[in-house]
Amino acid sequence: MRFDGKTALITGASRGIGRGIAVEFARRGANLALVGRDRSSLDETVAACVSARADVKAAVFVADVTDAGAVDGFVAQTLAEFGRIDIAVAGAGQSIDGLLLRLKPETIDQLLDVNLKSAFYLCAAVAKPMMKQRAGSIVLVSSIVGLTGNAGQSVYAATKAALLGLAKSLAKELGSRNIRVNAVAPGLIDTAMTEGIPQAAREFMLKQISLGRPGTPQDVSGVVAFLCSDAASYVTGQTLVVDGGLVM
């Protein structure tokens, strides 16, 4: 699963699963376009990518992925820098937990913007050059709760479930141009986003995980690399669950 000469654009690349995906593609030979909100964190991602492959070429974009114009901008800049976009990973995401009756409208809007609308904007922007190339792979980072739901995460779960419908619909729209669209649904992954899970809840989840441990960003990044590789050239419109056997 090599990506030499190919370009991978990754949103949410400044930490966690997004950073893990960036390092994975760097290690496998890809050029990188890394998008996030914080420059210093993105620089840390670049350093991690350089550690994985010293000659990696990486362009960094500090941008608001909830702004369609900004998304169009960094996609255009990526094309100017590398000439093509072969892979796009919608990894930007945010979780704000709370019971539905206590959620403020602005919180709902924020999660819809970050988790869902940003993916629409990215897919629309990269689909154009991929259609001209007649090739490309898009992966949307969803969540296991998009399949199962979870009390206290109604909005987060709804946005992650919507990504699965988006992947299936775009797979049907873009398949004739040899563009594949898939999703991954991670379970309990050790990242900054999951640090705030109460200890009791974490222990309960661990007891349900068949493999008996939380996942790592690397557990997810390898699956994403597979979906974008020639090994998965006949896979589209699918959701691969990466949860250690939490839900079966």
Task: Classify residue 207 as exposed, middle or buried by CB count within 10 Å of its CB (0-12, 13-18, 19+).
Answer: exposed
DSSP H helix total and E strand total for the chain: 9, 7
Q: Cα–Cα distance between 32 and 152 in angstroms, integer?
A: 36
Q: Which residue among 3, 25, 121, 156 is the active-site one?
A: 156
Q: Which residues have CB under 8 Å from 99's CB, separation 6+?
A: 151, 152, 154
> Within 13 Å and on the Cβ side, how many CA atoms surround 83?
3
Give yes or no: 156 in active site: yes
> Where is 32: in which H helix or E strand?
strand 31-36
Cα-based angle 69, 107, 242 (whole degrees, multiple of 5):
80
The residues annotated with a catalytic role in the active site are 156
